[in-house]
């Protein structure tokens, strides 16, 4: 895709329309090829107010066995920067007709629920969650205290497998791959995905002055293989095509989980990152550019 000159609104609008039409057509074609036109069945997974689930549903992943992961409120709340008793979430797993908490929420007045690798669960998740056909889930969970301004600061990334949760990224501890020095992750942004090989793609929050103007944190795209080895896909400051510079990688579980999963399972990852050139943010994203790890 060529860089679009943001000084030409007509051209930008026309290109956005073409991208949108092409994306809708691609999703429709993919869906038609993979989903039968008849024979649907609908099964209730969870009910608000039953089994510890309350408040709302934040839909995550669904696998071929009919297992699902999702985030919902619970009746146990802790204080946050929004006020008293305002963080009440955890991640849930639906399997074989049963809903269970991936991690029990912290209870007020206690030392809280410990997270693998250190820290205390802040009763808040960074969705969406993800699930593969082996039943492994990838979830991002806040440690105490959650922080602003980047949503996801002080959240860690965790792999749920075989009934246990283990840390993939611990904020302030895990080193960022592919960058100089001893830089550590400061959190995990919205959007994780996991393929059937157990490889996770996630948005990692890192210290950076090459990100959005006026910030000291940036967000890049990273991978973690089944053994936990981390890899860098792209970070703020990396070179973009046509002499621009990537400054921010937003949520990577983009627009359609079908598109995301098809691309990632085939070894490629769709990115939406905003190229910046000459200290100004280009108004259009470098969207839906499919790249193999390290191919930028």
Q: Tens of pLDDT along 234-259?
A: 888 888 777 878 877 665 543 333 33
Number of structural domains (the chain) is: 1
3-class secondary structure, 129: coil
56 CB contacts (<8 Å, ≥6 apart)? 48, 72, 73
In a domain, 242, yes or no: yes
How would you class 286 by CB atoms within 10 Å of its CB: exposed for 0-12, middle for 13-18, buried for 19 or more? Answer: buried
In a domain, 29, yes or no: no
The average confidence (pLDDT) of the chain is 74
Whether pLDDT at 21 is above 90: no
Q: Helix, strand, coil proportions of the chain in percent (round to 5)?
A: 15, 45, 45
High-pLDDT (> 90) share of the chain, %: 35
Q: Is 278 left (phi over 0), alpha (psi -120 to 50) or beta?
A: left
In a domain, 22, yes or no: no
Q: What does the alpha-carbon distance between residue 110 and residue 114 come to, in Å, rounded to a whole number?
A: 11
In a domain, 15, yes or no: no
In a domain, 18, yes or no: no
In a domain, 8, yes or no: no
Which pLDDT value is given to residue 93?
94
* Segments forming the whole domain that contains residue 65: 45-292
Which pLDDT value is given to residue 34?
53
Q: Tens of pLDDT along 73-103?
A: 887 777 776 777 777 889 999 998 899 999 9
Q: What does the alpha-carbon distance between residue 59 and residue 42 come to, in Å, rounded to a whole number?
A: 15
Which pLDDT band, with edges at 50, 70 and 90, does 277 fall under? very low
Q: Which residues pair with 70 in a beta bridge?
A: 59, 92
Q: Tens of pLDDT along 112-160?
A: 899 999 999 988 898 889 999 999 999 999 998 877 777 899 999 999 9
**Token pair in block for residue 260:** 């995301």
Whether pLDDT at 267 is above 50: no
Which of 1-5, 13-17, 214-218 is the most confident on average?
A: 214-218
Phi, psi of 126 (to 5 degrees): -110, 95
Contact criterion met (CB below 8 Å) for 94 and 131: no
Q: What does the alpha-carbon distance between residue 251 and residue 128 come to, in Å, rounded to a whole number?
A: 9
Mean pLDDT, range 221-230, rounded to an integer: 93
Which pLDDT value is given to residue 250?
62
């Amino acid at each position: 895709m060529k860089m679009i000159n943001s000084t030409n609104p007509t051209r930008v609008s026309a290109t956005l329309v073409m991208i949108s039409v092409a994306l809708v057509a691609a999703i429709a074609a993919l869906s038609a090829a993979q989903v039968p036109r008849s024979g649907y069945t609908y099964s209730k997974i969870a009910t608000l107010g039953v089994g510890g689930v309350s408040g709302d549903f934040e839909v995550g992943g669904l696998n071929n066995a009919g297992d699902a992961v999702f985030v919902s409120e619970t009746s146990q709340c802790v204080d946050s920067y929004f006020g008293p008793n305002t963080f009440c979430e955890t991640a849930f797993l639906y399997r074989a007709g049963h809903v269970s908490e991936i991690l029990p929420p912290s209870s007020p007045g206690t030392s809280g629920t410990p997270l693998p690798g250190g820290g205390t669960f802040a009763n808040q998740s960074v969705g969406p969650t993800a699930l593969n056909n082996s039943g492994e889930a990838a979830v991002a969970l806040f440690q105490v205290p959650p922080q602003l301004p980047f949503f996801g600061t002080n959240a860690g990334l965790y792999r749920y497998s075989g009934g246990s949760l283990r840390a993939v990224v611990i904020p302030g501890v895990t080193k960022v791959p592919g960058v100089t020095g001893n830089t550590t992750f400061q959190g995990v942004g919205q959007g994780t995905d996991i393929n059937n090989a157990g490889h996770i793609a996630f948005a990692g929050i890192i210290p950076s002055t090459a990100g959005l103007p006026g910030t000291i944190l940036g967000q890049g795209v990273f991978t973690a293989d089944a053994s936990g080895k981390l890899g860098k896909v792209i970070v703020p400051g990396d070179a973009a095509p046509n002499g621009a510079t990537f400054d921010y990688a937003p949520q990577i579980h983009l627009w359609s989980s079908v598109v995301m999963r098809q691309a990632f399972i085939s070894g490629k990852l769709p990115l939406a990152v905003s190229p910046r050139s000459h200290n100004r943010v280009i108004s259009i994203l470098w969207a839906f550019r499919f790249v193999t790890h390290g191919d930028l």
